[in-house]
Structure formats: structure tokens, C-alpha cells
Amino acid sequence: DVKVTQSSRYLVKRTGEKVFLECVQDMDHENMFWYRQDPGLGLRLIYFSYDVKMKEKGDIPEGYSVSREKKERFSLILESASTNQTSMYLCASSLTGTGSQFRNQPQHFGDGTRLSIL
């Protein structure tokens, strides 16, 4: 089974702090993703990475950055936390696939981190 592990289930931080959310996967997946999920808005993609040291902006990258120094680890960074970044953060990973399944693989999610910014 794919295992995607997020470093914290619950986290409370203060406005202006720099916050690090860590994610590790153990299945040698090429692709990793960070989402946030808010009531009524569904899942929204923040950033994703399809290779080590590579990253691409998702739909809502403002206020966030990411780091992928090793294949198994993808970190989300809130540069200066604000109250509107209070949310559930979900990390996911996927294979790239081959042939007709190239870049069309399902994603596997971690348990999520409930982040509260006070």
C-alpha cells in the first residue's frame, strides 16, 4: 500500500510565523502535490512537483512556497502565516505512468494537517 505521511495532524501557529508542513511518501512516486481543503470550496491545488527540485504553481500559490530536495519529501512553506491560511492541508503523490496512462495516474493522499493560524 502507498503510504503518504504528513508530519502533523494538528498544528497551531501565530500570524506572521514561518510555517513548514512536511510530507513523505514511500512508494518512489515521481509526482507530489499540496492541496488545501475548505468548506464549500473543495480541494484546491497549491503547488505540485513532478521531479526532484522541480515545482509548478497550482491554482492558489500566493503566500506559499515549496521545496523538493529529495524524491520522497515535499515541503510546503507558509512564508508569513495569515489567518486566511487556516485550513486542512493535504499532501498527495502519484506515479507518472507509461503509455496510455502517462501522467494520468490517481493520487494517494496523506491524513492531512489541520492548521490553525491565530
Partner 1 sequence: RKEVEQDPGPFNVPEGATVAFNCTYSNSASQSFFWYRQDCRKEPKLLMSVYSSGNEDGRFTAQLNRASQYISLLIRDSKLSDSATYLCVVTGGSGGSNYKLTFGKGTLLTVNP
Judged by the rule CB under 8 A, the positions of this chain that interact with partner 1 are 31, 33, 40-43, 45, 48, 50, 56, 58-59, 90, 94, 101-112
- Calpha distance 67→58 (Å, rounded): 14
Quick one: 67 or 96, whose CB is closer to partner 1? 96
Spell out the residues 6+ positions from residue 89 whose beta carbon is closer than 8 angstroms to its own: 6, 21, 34, 35, 36, 37, 76, 112, 113, 115
Distance of closest approach, residue 22 Cβ to partner 1, in angstroms: 16
Q: State which residue, 25 or 107, has the beta carbon closest to partner 1.
A: 107
Is the Cβ of residue 17 or residue 59 nearer to partner 1 in the bound state?
59
Tell me how far, at minimum, the Cβ of 103 lies from partner 1, in Å. Answer: 4
Which ranges in the chain belong to alpha helices (H)?
none
Q: Which is nearer to partner 1, 24 or 80 (CB)?
A: 24
Query: What's the closest the beta carbon of residue 18 comes to partner 1, in angstroms?
Result: 25
Q: Would you give the DSSP letter of residue 93? A: E
**C-beta of 89: minimal distance to partner 1 in Å?**
11
Phi, psi of 100 (to 5 degrees): -70, -15
Terminal Cα-to-Cα distance of the chain (whole angstroms): 36
